[in-house]
């Protein structure tokens, strides 16, 4: 599970870094293009020649970087590994709670619980393979490394836990994470949209008051890039879905808390509470993946479309700079 967790985090980081670099290179290519056509720039100067080279080179390098990223920082790999990690995490929690809920279980029943965990691991591996997200991610981890990664220091991540520990470390912890994430993600999204709106107002005013069109073009490019960067950054931050899931979790936790002590110690009630919570989280995981894949696919198409337009413009610039073909001398 740690392999999936670490891989998902690293690939998500790499995905954003690569796309950020590509988009910013596109922005600079647009700026260089505007500057190269500035009426104050004299043709034939070294300054103009350098700008022309950058206008041609940046889009091509950006497209090459994007194609490299599509192989080694793929858009969906981190999503599929995140799903795989949650499949295993859910199975481990079921194993730990059920093992504690039935202390008199026979060896065969305990072995069946362990087999369920192994089946979940196999399901996760199959998921990765079926979604073409298999990349080098595994490493040999010592028991000390696993213990250090545990969220709670007195918990090795595998020992049996009672319903109180499950309530605190799984149900309520997940609910608190949703609440915190919803607030931060929504505010971040709102700030990005306000920045785009502000740039749009500035661009409109500059156009109305007759500012140089070069600056209007540069700000328009920045506005478009900021919108795309915001969309990329928000992938996986599905605050409407998180809000709905948090509400369901809160209702389930409240329903558990009003039970009597005897009911909370009853294995049947514990199993039902466990099943309800994990069902809610499984549904959220499925819907989250669908939304994340959909938004990322749209972002990838938008980036490639923008890069192809820049490459086309750079080709036009190169054609203009190419010397005209001289007619053959009269014989």
d(CA 194, CA 77): 31
pLDDT for residue 331 = 46
Q: Torsion-angle region of residue 249: left (phi > 0), alpha (psi -120 to 50) or beta?
A: alpha
User: Cβ atoms within 10 A of the Cβ of 104, count?
Assistant: 6
Global pTM?
A: 0.74
As to burial, measured by CB atoms within 10 angstroms (0-12 exposed, 13-18 middle, 19+ buried), residue 302 is middle
pLDDT in tens, the chain (331 residues): 566 777 777 777 877 787 787 777 777 777 776 666 654 445 556 767 777 777 777 777 777 777 776 665 556 888 888 899 999 999 999 999 998 887 777 888 888 888 999 999 899 888 888 887 665 555 555 555 555 555 555 666 678 899 999 999 999 999 999 998 888 888 887 888 888 888 888 888 887 877 767 677 777 777 777 777 777 777 777 888 999 999 999 999 999 999 999 998 898 999 999 999 999 999 999 999 998 888 888 877 777 777 676 666 655 555 555 554 555 555 4
| Chain mean position to CA 147 | 27
d(CA 131, CA 112): 28
d(CA 316, CA 310): 10
Residue with tokens 């505010």, as numbered in its chain: 187
| Chain mean position to CA 220 | 26
If you ran DSSP here, which 8-state letter would residue 159 be given? Answer: S
d(CA 17, CA 13): 6
Structure-block tokens of residue 43? 């043709």
Q: Which of 10, 290, 287, 305 is nearest to 131 (CA)?
A: 290
pLDDT for residue 168 = 92
CA angle 252, 256, 258 (to 5 degrees): 120
pLDDT for residue 273 = 94
Structure-block tokens of residue 315? 């080709």
On the CB side of 260, CA atoms within 13 Å amount to 3
pLDDT for residue 154 = 60
């Amino acid at each position: 599970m740690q392999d999936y967790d670490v891989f998902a985090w690293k690939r998500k980081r790499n995905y954003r870094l690569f796309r950020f670099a590509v988009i910013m290179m596109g922005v600079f290519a647009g700026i260089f293009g505007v500057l190269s056509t500035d009426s104050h720039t004299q043709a034939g100067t070294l300054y103009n020649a350098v700008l022309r080279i950058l206008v041609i080179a940046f889009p091509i390098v950006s497209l090459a970087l994007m194609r490299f990223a599509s192989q080694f920082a793929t858009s969906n790999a981190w999503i599929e590994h995140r799903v795989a990690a949650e499949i295993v995490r859910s199975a481990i929690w079921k194993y730990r709670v059920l093992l504690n809920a039935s202390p008199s279980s026979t060896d065969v029943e305990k072995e069946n619980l362990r087999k369920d965990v192994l089946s979940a691991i196999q399901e996760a591996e199959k998921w990765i393979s079926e979604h073409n997200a298999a990349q080098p991610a595994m490493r040999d981890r010592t028991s000390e490394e696993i213990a250090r990664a545990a969220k709670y220091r007195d918990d090795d991540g595998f020992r049996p836990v009672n319903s109180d520990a499950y309530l605190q470390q799984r149900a309520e912890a997940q609910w608190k994470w949703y609440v915190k994430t919803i607030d931060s993600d929504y505010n971040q999204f709102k700030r990005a949209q306000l920045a785009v709106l502000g740039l749009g107002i500035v661009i409109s005013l500059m156009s109305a008051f007759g500012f140089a069109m070069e600056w209007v073009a540069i700000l328009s490019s920045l506005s478009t890039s900021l919108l795309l960067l915001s969309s990329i950054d928000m992938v996986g931050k599905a605050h409407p879905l998180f809000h709905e899931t948090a509400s369901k979790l809160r209702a389930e936790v409240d329903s558990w808390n009003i039970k009597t002590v005897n009911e909370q110690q009853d294995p049947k009630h514990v199993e039902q509470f466990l099943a309800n919570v994990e069902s809610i989280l499984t549904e959220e995981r499925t819907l989250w993946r669908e939304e994340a894949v959909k938004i990322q696919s749209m972002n990838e198409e938008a980036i490639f479309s923008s890069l192809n337009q820049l490459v086309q413009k750079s080709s036009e610039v190169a054609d203009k700079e190419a010397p005209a073909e001289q007619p053959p001398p009269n014989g």
